[in-house]
Amino acid sequence: MQKPERILLWNLMAAVFALGQAWPNMMLSSQPSSGLKTGCVANLMRLTLDSALAVGNQLEVEAINGTQYILLTPNLAAQCGYSMESDPWGNTRIYTSLLGCYVSNKDDVMFTVGLKLKIYHHSPSDVASHDVAQTCSYTRWAPREILCDRNYMEVSTYMAPQAEAKGQKKAASQLNTIPDQASEKVTGIWKITFFTPEPMSMVLKEAQQAGHSAMTTSTRLVMRSPYNTAETYSEDVAGVPMEVLKVSIYHKAQDGLNVFNLAAACPTGGVLFTGNLISWHVPRRVTPLLDGSIRLVEMNMGINGQRVDKAQMAARGYSLSTTDFHIVVEIPIGSPDGYYKSHAPDYQYHTTYTVEPMLEVLWRADQTREDTRYKILFPITTPPMLQPPHTEDRTIPEMREFSLYVGTFLGDVVLRNITFATGVLTVEESNARGFTVQQHVLANGTFVFSLQVPFDADVVYKHNPELLVTTYSLNVAFGFVILPEEIPFAHPVEFQASLHDVVLPTLTGTCDQDQFYITVKYGNQGKNFNTMVGGLDLTPELAEAYKFYSNATHFSIAVPYAATGTLFELITTNSVRARLDVLVWDPITNWILSDLFLACFFPLLTTRCYPNGTISALAVKVESVPNLHPSWLTLKDRSCTPIFSNDQFAQFTFSADSCGTTRTFFDHYVLYENEIGLYYSQKGAARTPPVDPEYRQTVSCYYVVNDTQTVAFSAKSRRYEPKAAIGSGHMVVQMRLATDSSYQDFYDAEDYPVEKYLREPLYFEVELVQSTDPHLELILENCWATLQEERTSLPSWDIIVDSCASPGDSYTTVFHTVLVDDRVSVPFHYKRFSMKMFAFIQEEQVLKHEVYVHCDLVICDTTSPAEGICQGQCANRVLKGTPKQTQRGRRSTSSTNRKQISSRPILLNGFQ
């Protein structure tokens, strides 16, 4: 094991908690300052500072030399016999050799050590000083003593006391200082020869400059050397690497020159780690020290410089044994006499265990009977041991909160931050956000950290693996640092918890005489779903048409029963059963979350019987014939086709004596019947696939016959008979702007100009008023918009061209079906269309914020053969592209069946 140079100027780390240390029993004398204890351990004096005194501070040590204070630098400490060891929590031990420099020595029996401790707090001026003095008695000196400390090796040998020179008095005590070589002494150490193993000689002053120390006491000669100097060498002894110091010291005495051969050998290795056991091997015979036949007389084990007895060894699991070649000390890893330290190689959490065993051996030479006492203080640190933090999930899903524990860690580990999915938060910031972070101390002094995070926090990811199940995922990384080095490492964790806690959206619906009313109540997953109404996605445009309303708990729509996507299940003489299918679905998983199939009866008069024998019948596409197109339907006479049709309806108008109508006489009335159906051609080609069911709808009208009415009248002669005169009348049309798509409410004259936003829908209705003739149909031929009230002003924009929506308009015009209701008796007398509000722009500038809509319309007689425009709205498009303005002007003739009409001004909101 390498012996690193130890320094006495230490920055002791700050720690909140320390692992419990079980220190060996010894005789200690307390100093006045709390936290300072001194004691004598054989040939050493030991000073202990606990963490309460030194933690978080800087320590400086000075040796007291009479009235002088000598700062113990690392080099001077190794040269003079001082060493220091500190654990990560500030528990510090300082050892002083009783034969060290600046130690007061009385006859090699009584030794007094004086130290001055300076503890710096926050600044050089903030310092606390403690003077420490300890007197130790040691009389068990062996003829040769070898001490191996952390930073130096020391050997001393017995030297016979010198005869007192004439005229000199023996001093009562001797202070072991580094001799002053300014003047040559008659007696004393003259020269030192180092063997490396080649001989190399130095005078005392040169040896001291090289970092060595040599001195004499009243009865002993002392040599001390740091490790790894040029004057020491390494040697393998019984497989154990050792640092060896061999010298010959030439000592001048009054009786002549004496030569002393000294040697010290200290182990730098020999440690094995097997499982949870440390095995320390020391050569049983250290050959660089011993010559001839020797035997092992005594051996003792210690911890931190203090012997432990057999009972203490047994209690801690220690063992001390010998083999043919080694003395073996075994210590369990984790013994309470050592301590753990945290590390983070490759950003992974590791720990090391450090313990400082001591071995004392006494050898005796068989021939000379001289003893050699050998003492080693040998700190051992295990290699870094990977300690992956254990993560414990204590989450109870029903509590709707993640609860996790991570650990264990030593007291030198500090939690600095936590990385969540949304970013990095300090511990303080995490607690402020409601993520509870706590530190817990276990019985053995280690720590675990806990974290609580609510399920509804934004750092928790949520998804639904099943329809009614929510899985909550929390991915975090704990960021730690190891003190005092501030070494970072991280520990990522991933947790999941599942709950059957999904509340799905619910759909409810009602009907009145005109519309379906649908309400969708949100579940606990919010509004993250799509809605389909009648097979169509509920787009913003469709939602606007259905009067979409929403708040925090639900949304609602109102859907006309004849809207696109509704299905007709059953048709009767005066009503229709319509069904609206609504479903909400998850766009990610495509799961249907909820659905509603709402069917209601709506009043619908499908057959009208007029007194003049005209019959009007409305055919409705029903769900049972899904591939039916209403335009394919005919009466019994297949030449009688609908006068109007769309995707849902077909309108027939015919006289009671036409189109294959039959009549049946009863007592007081006659029944006229016809049938609307889907017939196959004579060649066998069907309009619909043969698998589709047949479509049959009976049309019936009852007329009373033989009805007698009593009428009273009186006659008066007149001078002449009346004659029929040819006259003319006027057909009146009007254009109105509806407030919404229901066409129930309209803007009055005082409301104009009506303000509309860009792209806001405009709902127009054109009506033939003051006429009840079912044979007349209103057709919109051309409609356009201008900036001026004048119909022929420029610029203009086409809306309807040749009875169809303008093909060049990006804001597509939409025609709306007109059905019979309380206000509409003849649907042919109405035309409804919608467009979106726009503005005339030239060179990216709005020309004017008002627009006028103008229409050319034709009133057709449905009893006459249909030609040209009278074939129906957008039934026969003959023009391609947009007609020019001259063409529109030519169509606007004064023919009695043509009309012109214009709207009032519509104001574009948002432009000045």
Residue partners of 193: CB distance under 8 A and separation at least 6: 199, 200, 201, 202, 247, 248, 250
pLDDT score recorded for residue 624: 80
pLDDT tens-digit series, residues 866-898: 777 888 888 755 433 333 333 443 333 334 478
Region of 46 (left: φ > 0; alpha: ψ -120 to 50; beta: rest) is beta
Torsion angle (degrees, nearest 10) of CA 103, 104, 110, 114: -60
- Cβ atoms of 542 and 536 closer than 8 Å: yes
**DSSP H/E element including 314:** helix 310-316
pLDDT score recorded for residue 855: 94
- Cβ atoms of 654 and 640 closer than 8 Å: yes
Give which of 785, 773, 784, 783 is closest to 859, Cα–Cα.
Answer: 773
User: Using CA atoms, how far apart are residues 78 and 64, in angstroms rounded to an integer?
Assistant: 17
- Cβ atoms of 520 and 538 closer than 8 Å: no
Q: Are strands 413-420 and 401-409 parallel, antiparallel or unpaired?
A: unpaired
- Cβ atoms of 903 and 737 closer than 8 Å: yes
Residue partners of 307: CB distance under 8 A and separation at least 6: 24, 41, 42, 300, 301, 358, 360
- Cβ atoms of 214 and 223 closer than 8 Å: yes
User: Using CA atoms, how far apart are residues 676 and 638, in angstroms rounded to an integer?
Assistant: 9
pLDDT tens-digit series, residues 362-371: 999 887 788 9
The alpha carbon of residue 383 and the mean position of all alpha carbons in its chain are separated, in whole angstroms, by 36
Give which of 377, 308, 354, 402 is closest to 43, Cα–Cα.
Answer: 377
Q: Which two tokens stand for residue 846?
A: 């709005």
pLDDT score recorded for residue 910: 60
C-beta neighbour count of 438 within 10 angstroms: 13
pLDDT score recorded for residue 32: 45
User: Using CA atoms, how far apart are residues 195 and 233, in angstroms rounded to an integer?
Assistant: 9
pLDDT score recorded for residue 890: 35
pLDDT score recorded for residue 580: 93
pLDDT score recorded for residue 819: 87
Angle at 35 between CA 32 and CA 41, to 5 degrees: 90
Q: Which two tokens stand for residue 556?
A: 């609602």
User: Using CA atoms, how far apart are residues 8 and 253, in angstroms rounded to an integer?
Assistant: 37
Residue partners of 167: CB distance under 8 A and separation at least 6: none
- Cβ atoms of 139 and 247 closer than 8 Å: no
Measured between alpha carbons, how far apart are the two ends of the chain, in Å?
A: 91
Q: Which two tokens stand for residue 746?
A: 């309209």
User: Using CA atoms, how far apart are residues 228 and 119, in angstroms rounded to an integer?
Assistant: 31
User: Using CA atoms, how far apart are residues 681 and 152, in angstroms rounded to an integer?
Assistant: 120
User: Using CA atoms, how far apart are residues 133 and 569, in angstroms rounded to an integer?
Assistant: 110
User: What pTM was computed for the model?
Assistant: 0.60
pLDDT score recorded for residue 407: 87
pLDDT score recorded for residue 6: 30
The length of the chain is 912
pLDDT score recorded for residue 837: 87
pLDDT score recorded for residue 459: 94
Between the CA of residue 544 and those of 112, 183, 540, 654, 760, what are the distances in Å?
A: 100, 113, 6, 39, 10
pLDDT tens-digit series, residues 46-95: 998 876 555 556 788 999 998 899 999 999 999 999 998 887 777 889 99
Torsion angle (degrees, nearest 10) of CA 532, 537, 542, 543: 50
C-beta neighbour count of 898 within 10 angstroms: 16
pLDDT score recorded for residue 726: 45
Angle at 709 between CA 707 and CA 712, to 5 degrees: 165
Between the CA of residue 628 and those of 605, 682, 692, what are the distances in Å?
A: 21, 19, 9
pLDDT score recorded for residue 275: 86
C-beta neighbour count of 698 within 10 angstroms: 12
Q: Which two tokens stand for residue 880?
A: 């391609």
Between the CA of residue 636 and those of 406, 640, 674, 842, what are the distances in Å?
A: 86, 8, 7, 57
Report the chain (912 residues): mean pLDDT per 10 consecutive residues: 33 26 32 72 89 66 91 94 84 92 93 90 77 93 95 93 49 45 60 93 93 93 95 94 95 86 95 93 90 88 93 94 94 92 93 95 87 95 93 93 93 94 94 94 92 94 88 95 91 93 91 93 88 92 92 94 88 86 90 91 87 87 83 91 86 91 88 86 46 78 70 52 50 91 91 87 92 87 91 88 79 84 87 88 72 92 78 62 38 56 83 45
- Cβ atoms of 351 and 410 closer than 8 Å: yes
User: b vs e for 612-647, b when ≥16 Cβ sit within 10 Å of the residue's Cβ?
Assistant: eebbbbbbbbbeeeeebebbbbbbbeeebebbbbbe
User: Using CA atoms, how far apart are residues 834 and 857, in angstroms rounded to an integer?
Assistant: 16
